């Protein structure tokens, strides 16, 4: 009875291991920290070796005693009894007795049976510790991480996205919310109206551009090559029936083409402008913005977004000219921040146009005495983005024509500028005295203190890839050792 139990139990154990392996790999749920791999691996080997040694020693002892009793009770020749009992002394003895059967075949079957049994016990004793191993693998760990409303500096591919409050030394990605600014530009039709009076702005180098209704006329400042500027058409000073809702007007003396090589509607100047009177046409564009909700993954190590993960992407590499069409008003809540003072996404055009009061020290023409002709900071940003270098402002000479601009490059540049403006609004806070005694606080808000926009805080699920160790079973199928390490990676990918 004991002999049967000792021999049936390994079969049952092997079927159990096959079930674990085919589940698939239920033993992989036993996970250990990576720094404990050596310790756990040692004890797995020790326990498996000890179990195999003790168990098969007991099995062999019981089987040997029963076989000896059987041989002594069985009616057979003394030579056969001698060969059988001597074979049970060990595998080597059984092998020598089997060789002797070649000369005197007294008990070939019995000796062969004992030899094969002892060989099987030896194989099981050696391979049992190898059935279990502790292997390393990459484990996805999900945790909650705090985020801030904006990134540490202007976004990726013209986006603003949530950033982790702190970086993590482990590899991982966090799914975060983002917002993109999709800019669409179209050309404006207009004509240059010649002004005869020498005391008019035309005499000082200005140009009067008539767009007709509803825009009316616009006095264009002197313009040099490789310069793009924003028209100061502030909706707040226009009639009630004339508004530039969610749009801004740009113009440049450089040629602007689309992906098909077509120009928009360049307005010919009656009197060329720029150094050597090289600028004969001006391209006017009106550009509108559409906010796009996005999502992407932030690298937990660097805190930066993975550009390829941003969906949907708004970065443009193709464009086609068309006349600007006024965009319909939307009821969508365009509030980006709501802490104290609400900063509305529709204010971007006013920030660009009104910012012309914040001029840099870079002139837009060589003759800086012709009125206010310095470039504003948003204009410099756009020119840097587009690679425009206005060298003529120092020499008043233009030896080569300016580079040809692509419409979608201007749209991408303006999108990046809008991202930067809202980043500044969220990160650069006014000084305390400015907040306390500003005219907005004293005369418009009805409060003695005005609060600047603040960053909203949230949380996201952070998925990190960490190294860990787990128990692994090597199955034995049809008597052959089968190492499933060759297929464990495929099973792991399927499970994860």
Confidence of residue 67 (pLDDT cuts 50, 70, 90): confident
Residue-level pLDDT at 488: 37
Percent over 90 (pLDDT), the chain: 10
Identify the weakest region by mean pLDDT among 96-100, 168-172, 463-467.
Answer: 168-172
Helix axes of 91-100 and 78-87: crossing angle, nearest 10 degrees: 150
pLDDT digits (tens, 9 = 90+) for 173-184: 777 888 888 999
Residue-level pLDDT at 266: 93
Identify the weakest region by mean pLDDT among 163-167, 220-224, 351-355.
Answer: 351-355
Residue-level pLDDT at 354: 55
Does pTM top 0.75 for this prediction? no
Q: Is pLDDT of 283 > 90?
A: yes
Q: Is pLDDT of 453 > 80?
A: no
- 184: number of Cβ within 10 Å: 19
Q: Is pLDDT of 357 > 60?
A: no
Residue-level pLDDT at 489: 38
Tell me the pLDDT of the chain averaged across its residues. 73
Q: Answer yes or no: are the C-beta atoms of 383 and 364 closer than 8 Å.
A: no
- 351: number of Cβ within 10 Å: 17
Residue-level pLDDT at 60: 81
Confidence of residue 434 (pLDDT cuts 50, 70, 90): low
Domain-by-domain residue ranges, the chain? 2-137+469-495, 150-455
Residue-level pLDDT at 15: 78
Give the residue, 262 or 148, on which the prediction is more confident.
262
Identify the weakest region by mean pLDDT among 15-24, 283-292, 383-392.
Answer: 15-24
**CB contact set of 302 (below 8 Å; sequence gap of 6+):** 167
Q: Is pLDDT of 203 > 70?
A: no
Q: Is pLDDT of 340 > 80?
A: no
> Which is nearest to 473 in space by CA: 33, 21, 19, 104?
21
Torsion of CA 61, 62, 63, 69, to 10 degrees: 110
Give the residue, 203 or 63, on which the prediction is more confident.
63
Residue-level pLDDT at 318: 94
Q: Is pLDDT of 322 > 80?
A: yes
Residue-level pLDDT at 438: 62
């Amino acid at each position: 009875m004991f002999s049967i139990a000792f021999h049936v139990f390994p079969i049952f154990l092997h079927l159990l291991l096959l079930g674990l392996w085919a589940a698939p790999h239920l033993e992989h749920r036993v996970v250990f920290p990576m720094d404990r791999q050596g310790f756990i691996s040692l004890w797995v080997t020790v326990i498996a070796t000890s179990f195999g040694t003790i168990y098969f020693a007991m099995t062999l002892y019981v089987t040997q005693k029963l076989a000896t009793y059987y041989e002594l009770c069985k009616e057979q020749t003394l030579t056969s009894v001698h060969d059988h009992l001597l074979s049970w002394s060990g595998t080597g003895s059984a092998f020598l007795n089997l060789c002797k059967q070649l000369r005197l075949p007294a008990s070939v079957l019995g000796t062969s049976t004992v030899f094969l049994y002892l060989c099987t016990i030896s194989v099981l004793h050696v391979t049992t510790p190898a059935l279990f191993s502790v292997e390393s693998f990459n484990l996805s760990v999900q945790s909650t991480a705090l985020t801030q409303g904006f990134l540490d500096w202007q976004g990726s591919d013209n986006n603003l996205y949530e950033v982790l409050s702190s970086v993590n030394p482990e590899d991982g990605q966090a799914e975060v919310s983002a917002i993109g600014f999709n800019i669409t530009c179209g050309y404006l039709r207009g004509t240059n109206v010649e002004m005869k009076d020498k005391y008019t702005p035309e005499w000082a180098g200005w140009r009067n551009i008539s767009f007709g209704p509803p825009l009316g006329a616009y006095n264009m400042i002197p313009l040099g090559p490789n310069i793009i500027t924003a028209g100061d058409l502030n909706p707040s000073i226009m009639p009630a029936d004339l508004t530039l809702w969610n749009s801004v007007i740009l113009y440049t003396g450089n040629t602007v083409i689309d992906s098909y090589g077509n120009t928009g509607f360049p307005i010919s100047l009656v009197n060329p402008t720029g150094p050597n009177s090289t600028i004969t046409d001006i391209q006017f564009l009106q550009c509108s913005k559409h906010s796009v909700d996005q999502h992407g993954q932030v690298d937990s190590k660097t805190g930066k977004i993975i550009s390829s993960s941003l969906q949907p992407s708004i970065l443009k590499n193709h464009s086609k000219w068309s006349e600007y069409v006024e965009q319909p008003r939307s009821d969508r809540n365009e509030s980006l921040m709501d802490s104290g003072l609400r900063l509305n996404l529709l204010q971007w055009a006013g920030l660009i146009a009104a910012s012309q009061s914040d001029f840099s020290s870079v002139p837009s023409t060589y003759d800086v005495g012709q009125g206010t002709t310095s470039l504003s900071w948003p204009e410099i940003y756009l020119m840097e983005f587009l690679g425009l270098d206005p060298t003529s402002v120092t020499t008043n000479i233009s030896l080569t024509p300016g580079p040809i601009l692509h419409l979608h490059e201007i749209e991408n540049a303006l999108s990046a500028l809008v991202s930067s403006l809202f980043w500044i609004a969220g990160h650069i806070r006014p000084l305390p005295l400015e907040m306390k005694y500003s005219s907005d606080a004293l005369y418009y808000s009805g409060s003695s203190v005005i609060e600047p926009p603040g960053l909203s805080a949230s949380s996201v699920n952070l998925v990190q890839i960490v190294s860990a160790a787990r128990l692994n079973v090597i199955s034995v199928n049809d008597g052959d050792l089968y190492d499933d390490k060759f297929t464990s990676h495929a099973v792991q990918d399927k499970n994860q």
